[in-house]
Structures are given as C-alpha cells and as structure tokens.
Amino acid sequence: MKGRKLLMIPGPIEFEPEVLQAMSIATDSHVSPNFIEVFGNSLELMRKVWKSPKGQPFIISGTGTLAMDMAVSNLIEKGDAVLVISSGYFGKRFKDILECYGAHTTILEAPVGEVVSLDEIEKELKSKQYKALTITHVDTSTGVLIDPKPISELAKKYNTLSILDGVCSVAGEKINQDDWGIDIVLTASQKAIGVPPGLALLMVSEKAIQVWKNRKTPVGNYYADWKNWLPIMKAYEERRPSYFGTPPVNLIVALEVSLKIICEEGIDKRIKRHQNLAEAFRLGIDALHLKRLPVTNELAAHTLSAIYYPEGVDGASLSAKMNASNVIIAGGLLSDIKSTYFRIGHMGAISASDILSVLGALERALIELGIPIESGKSLQAFQNKLIQM
C-alpha cells in the first residue's frame, strides 16, 4: 500500500491481514454456538503456544497490566512476602501492583542492560520464605531477556510460586511453561500473539489454582477474581453458554485466527524465526556503530531491540525522519535514561523485508542527521547473516 506506515514499536505491532479481517466481521452473540466454539478453541490453542497442556487458560478483556493484576490479586494475600526480579520499568510495575494488595516486597534490580544473577536470587530466597517471585521475561523498556528456567527451578526448590510477565515474549521467545514449572505465564494480545490491544491472557498452573482455592481471605478485586472467571473459562471449553462479563467478541474471533496462524507456522519454528531476524538485525545495528542497551548478545531480546542514539542525534529528529520514511519507532521508556535511546519492535508477523525497510530508513535518517556512516552497510550485514542461516 502506497504511503502505508510500518508500525515497528514493541506493541501494538503489525498484524496479519487475516487477523484484521476477523476484527471486522459482524459481531456475534457471546453465547452463540459459533462463538462458543471459537472461544473454546482459542483456550485449547493457548495451551499449545504456552506449552502448558496442564495449565488453566484465561482470556479476559483488558490489557497486560490487568493480567499482572489478576495474577497478583488472586495469589497474594496481605502480608505475603514476594520477591520482584526486575530488569527495567515493567519489573517495577509488579512491585506497585503487589503493594496495592498489601504484599511485602523485596526488589532485586539489575543495572541497566543486565539481569539479576542467579546467586543473588538464591541468596534472597534462602533468607526467608517467599510466597511468590515475579520475573519479567523481556523487559520492553530495556530489551533485556532473562532466562526464566533456572529462576523457576530455584522457585520450586524454595517452595515459592513463580509468576512470569510474558507480555513481550509469549509467541516470540522460548517458553515451556509446564516443563519449566512456572505457575503463571501472562501476556497481552497486542504483542507477539498478534491481535490488536484489548486482551489479557494468562495460563495458570494446577498448583496456583490450588493456592488460590486455599486462600484465607477473599480476593480484593471484584473484576479480576477467578471465582467469577474460572467457571466461564470451563464453560467455554466444555462448549456451554455462560456469562459473567460480556467478552470482546471480535477480539476473540481475531485471537483464534492468530493462534491458528501461530500453530500452523509451528511454535518452535516461529521462535527460531524471531531469533534469526533479531540476530541479523543486531548485526545491521552494529554495522551502523550504534550501541545497544543489553550488555551482551545473550541478554538481548528477540522481540525488540533497544538502541542508544548516536552522539548529536535526538529522539524527536530521528523519529521524524523515520516517520517521513513511513517507519514508526518508539522512544525510550526507562525514566532515568529515557531521552538517550529508542526501541524497535520486531515480533509477530514481521518479515526480513520489513527489517530491510527499517534498516534502510535508519541509515538514511542518520546520514541526513550528519552521522558519518556508509549507506548500505547495515543492509549488507543483515543480508549476509540471513543468507548464512
């Protein structure tokens, strides 16, 4: 499409045309047999994407923050100790939500671009009994990826529940919920799941459901209480009509389409595609002599990249130049260093051709802003890597 903008922010992302078409069909009744089938099927497909055959899926109208709120409000009671493992802005959001429900939090914060070490986490878990710990798989503010597997193993060792914020990772980064023993993996629709904003998605382990059932005090959040939603999820999965709050019918129709696309591609293949594109993109960025936030490649997410502006370039002028080339990028998010970096999302339906457009636009923008780089260098680095893969 001429003049079409390429939305390269880390969510919402570019969506598949079939998903967008599904959004525009006539809205069905939330208790029609057709929609019940779509809802039930979406719940079943979620288990494949999360690799959680035993998990209890939830599809709720709301954003990723509601998914975090739902996890916390159902599992945590006033006075519970919770360990927050943070590598940026969204780690700290967990602390705020937890404190809202009276949890006693301890936060382990990584320096910018790094992750908290396993030794530090184990030391803290040994020091007292924590009810739960939270992990941000990819902190979208820094583009840092943490490996949740050894952390969830530590959580199990110390009899602590694990909650993974997978908002910027589910369907884009490797996740094996049941094998890794993570109690909740949550996300939102607008990222690698590939559906416009508006859905909070959670997968909850049998153990976490049991912990919720054994609560001593009622859940302090009416809308998020699993008491209201668990029977609805069970009914849709058993293909029975039910009602608590009207589900966002069109979004869920679109979700089924997107989950089918993800499963047709194959979840492992999809993760590999994200890894390959991200790795090649990083080489393109390196060829422009730009510095990235994650301090090592192992810590760099495959769903987005966070990149420092070169000296002499400010956010507003770079964004404007990129916009003029029809590429939308995001600014920084981490408050202390917000104005020093920008972010480019590369998840979901994104292809190698989209990334070539981004690198091309970025090269032109930097050259026009007076940065001495040679045009074509980043494209060449990207292409060479892809050809080798």
Among 8, 38, 59, 167, binds ligand PMP (CB under 6 A): 167
Shortest distance (Å) from residue 334 CB to ligand PMP: 12
Of these, 45, 170, 188, 293, which contacts ligand PMP (CB under 6 A)?
188
Cβ at position 24, least distance to ligand PMP in Å? 22
d(CA 60, CA 224): 9
Q: Kindly state the smallest distance separating residue 11's Cβ from ligand PMP, in Å.
A: 5
Contact by Cβ (8 Å): 251, 42: no
Q: Which of 203, 162, 159, 157 is nearest to 182 (CA)?
A: 162
* Closest alpha carbon to 285 in 363, 339, 338, 337: 363
Q: Any contact of residue 360 with ligand PMP (CB under 6 A)?
A: no
Instruction: Specify the residue, 142 or 378, whose C-beta has the smaller distance to ligand PMP.
Output: 142
Binding string, residues 131-160; x marks residues near ligand PMP by CB under 6 A: -----x--xx--------------------
Instruction: Kindly report the length of the chain.
Output: 389
Among 44, 48, 65, 380, binds ligand PMP (CB under 6 A): 65
Nearer to ligand PMP, 87 or 160 (CB): 87
- 328 Cβ partners below 8 Å, 6+ apart? 5, 6, 7, 8, 9, 322
How far is the CA of 241 from the CAs of 22, 227, 230, 236, 246, in angstroms?
Answer: 22, 17, 14, 7, 12
- The correct pick among 63, 228, 275, 323 for binding ligand PMP (CB under 6 A) is 63
| 189-248 binders of ligand PMP (CB under 6 A) | none
Q: How far apart are CA 166 and CA 175, in angstroms?
A: 9
Site size for ligand PMP, by CB under 6 A?
12
Site for ligand PMP in 66-105 (CB under 6 A): 90
Q: How far is the CB of 147 from ligand PMP (least distance, A)?
A: 16
Q: How many CA atoms lie within 13 A of 74 on its CB side?
A: 29
18-26, 98-106, 165-173, 306-314 -> range binding ligand PMP (CB under 6 A): 165-173
| Closer to ligand PMP by Cβ: residue 319 or 380 | 319
Least distance in angstroms from the C-beta of 145 to ligand PMP: 11
Cα-Cα end-to-end distance for the chain: 30
Sketch the per residue contact string, 253 through 272, with ligand PMP: x for CB under 6 A, - otherwise: --------------------
Alpha carbon distance 46, 255 (integer Å): 10
Q: Taking contact as CB under 6 A, which single stretch among the options 57-65, 176-184, 209-217, 355-363 is the one that binds ligand PMP? A: 57-65
Helix (H, G, I), strand (E, B) or coil at 122: helix
Residue 165 touching ligand PMP (CB under 6 A): yes
Q: Which is nearer to ligand PMP, 137 or 321 (CB)?
A: 137
For ligand PMP, which residue of 7, 8, 9, 11 counts as binding (CB under 6 A)? 11
> Any alpha helices (H) in 101-248, and if so which ranges?
118-127, 148-157, 177-180, 206-213, 226-237
- State residue 112 phi and psi, 5-degree precision: -50, 130
Rg (CA), the chain: 21
Q: Which of 167, 179, 84 lies closest to 124 in space, CA to CA?
A: 84
Residue 64 within binding range of ligand PMP, rule CB under 6 A: yes
- Nearer residue to ligand PMP within complex by CB, 321 or 343: 343
For ligand PMP, the binding residues (CB under 6 A) are 11, 63-65, 90, 136, 139-140, 165, 167-168, 188
